[in-house]
Amino acid sequence: MHEMSLCEGIVDLIAEEARRHGFARVKSVMVDVGVLGHVDPQALAFGFDVVSRGTVAEGARLVIEQIPGAGWCMDCAKTVPLAERFGACPECGQHHVQMTAGDELKVRELEVE
Amino acid sequence: MAGLSQTRIIEIERDILSKNNGFARTNRDRLKQTGTLALNLMSSPGSGKTTLLCRTINDLKAKFPVAVIEGDQQTSNDADRIRATGARAIQVNTGKGCHLEALMIGHALDALPLDNGGLLFIENVGNLVCPAGFDLGEAHKVVVLSVTEGEDKPLKYPDMFAAADLMLLNKSDLLPHLRFDVGACLAAAIKVNPHIQTLVVSAETGEGMAAFYAWIEARASVSRASAVRSDG
């Protein structure tokens, strides 16, 4: 359950932003989670409910946008979709692909009042 | 306007792991002061990590001061085994946590004096998933896999093998008794991480361990050379 520590990271980030921007309540939290990363969105949502209790983020809706995997194929010289980390290029079948998307783990924006 | 609730959107674009990464940077700077080579050892439970570490310490302690941070959910059994080798060891119990985080290492370093130019082994919690995502401030991540596990583990847990610089395939002395395809296992690791280095070892018999020590010594000399000495 490393999602719990990630949720603590999210709640800490929100507390810092609350001090900086002076808001008292968070309605929703938009996070980007890459599908090729090591985070389970369901576990993240569950953990966030638990960890945010008693903080400025309590009751906020966690909106998880799953970012599809993509990579730069060096042989085809273009960006191609990636279904797995270090997977083959779907067009040429070679493994000369550098992952460029799908590993995201960040808080993009907050809806606050 | 006072009394009127106003909803607004704040764009922050911040990495969720940024806090841990900040503590990891602090640890890295601190280890640089003493020119310490820190290795983060990760594996599933039962891969023989502690046995491997004990043998490594016994074989290298004449050349390097060695310190160990042991991560486990409960007990100090592993730290006790390490201390029996004469190395300094600190046990970090993560409780319900499934991995070590950089701040835990920072606290452990407060209580663990390091000699100049030594080795610091961090034995992570036995788990092939969570530890991969958390930078502790180490120089290299080393993943230990044993031949009693599935040869396709690198494909099942790609994050771990993608994050590691070295894979040790341990318990090679058991290979005659098993149907384990070493070539397929190494190929799986290289598929997930084309830059990973691999060594086949047995911590029990010592087979292949010399290559691991050579790997460590080459990197330790880099850490020593790049030390930022306060007296310097």
pLDDT of residue B5: 66
Contact A33, A104 (CB under 8 A): yes
For residue range B140-159, list pLDDT tens digits in order: 999 999 999 999 999 999 88
User: Does residue B4 lie within any of the structural domains?
Assistant: no
Do B13 and A23 make contact, defined as CB atoms within 8 angstroms? Answer: no
For residue range B56-71, list pLDDT tens digits in order: 999 999 999 999 999 9
User: Does residue B196 lie within any of the structural domains?
Assistant: yes
Q: Report chain A's mean pLDDT, rounded to a whole number.
A: 92
For residue range A4-42, list pLDDT tens digits in order: 889 999 999 999 999 999 999 999 999 999 998 888 898
Residue B3: pLDDT over 80: no
Percent of chain B's residues with pLDDT above 70: 96
User: Does residue B176 lie within any of the structural domains?
Assistant: yes
pLDDT of residue B230: 52
User: Does residue B183 lie within any of the structural domains?
Assistant: yes
Instruction: Find all residues with CB under 8 Å of B188, minimum gap 6, and list them.
Output: B151, B152, B153, B154, B155
- What's the pTM value of the predicted model, to 2 decimals? 0.88
Residue from B120, B117, B160, B118 nearest B142 by CA:
B160
Residue A96 neighbours by CB distance under 10 Å: 14
Closest chain B residue to the Cα of A14, Cα to Cα: B12
User: Does residue B226 lie within any of the structural domains?
Assistant: no
> Cα Rg for chain B, rounded, in angstroms?
19
Residues of chain A with Cβ-Cβ distance to B192 below 8 Å are: 85-86
User: Does residue B36 lie within any of the structural domains?
Assistant: yes
**Any A CB within 8 A of B194 CB:** yes
Range of the domain at B65: 22-221
Contact B17, A105 (CB under 8 A): yes
Q: What is the DSSP letter of B148?
A: T
Q: In this prediction, does ipTM exceed 0.95?
A: no
- Which CATH number belongs to the domain containing residue B84 in this structure? 3.40.50.300
Residue B229: pLDDT over 80: no
pLDDT band at A52 (very low <50, low <70, confident <90, very high): very high
Task: Report the domain count for chain B.
Answer: 1
Q: Each residue of B161-186: b (16+ CB within 10 Å) or e? A: bbbbbbbbbbbbeebeeeebeeeebb
Picking from B6, B12, B101 by the largest number of A CB atoms within 10 A of its own CB, the best residue to mutate is B12
For residue range B69-110, list pLDDT tens digits in order: 999 888 888 889 999 999 999 999 887 778 899 999 999 999
Secondary structure (3-state) at B23: helix
Residue type, A97: V
Phi and psi torsions of B173, nearest 5°: -65, -20
Domains of chain A: 2-112 (3.30.2320.80)
Q: What is the DSSP letter of B77?
A: H
User: Does residue B198 lie within any of the structural domains?
Assistant: yes
Of B55 and B192, the one with more pLDDT? B55
Select from A6, A95, A109 the Cβ nearest to the Cβ of B10.
A109
Select from B8, B12, B191 the Cβ nearest to the Cβ of A95.
B191
User: Does residue B71 lie within any of the structural domains?
Assistant: yes
CA A34 – CA B214 distance, rounded (Å): 37
Residue type, B152: D
**Token output for B161:** 């093998």
For residue range B197-227, list pLDDT tens digits in order: 999 999 999 999 999 999 999 999 999 998 8
Tally of CA atoms within 13 A in the half-sphere of B2 that contains its CB: 0
pLDDT of residue B232: 42
Residues of chain B with Cβ-Cβ distance to A1 below 8 Å are: 96, 98, 130
Residues of chain B with Cβ-Cβ distance to A10 below 8 Å are: 16
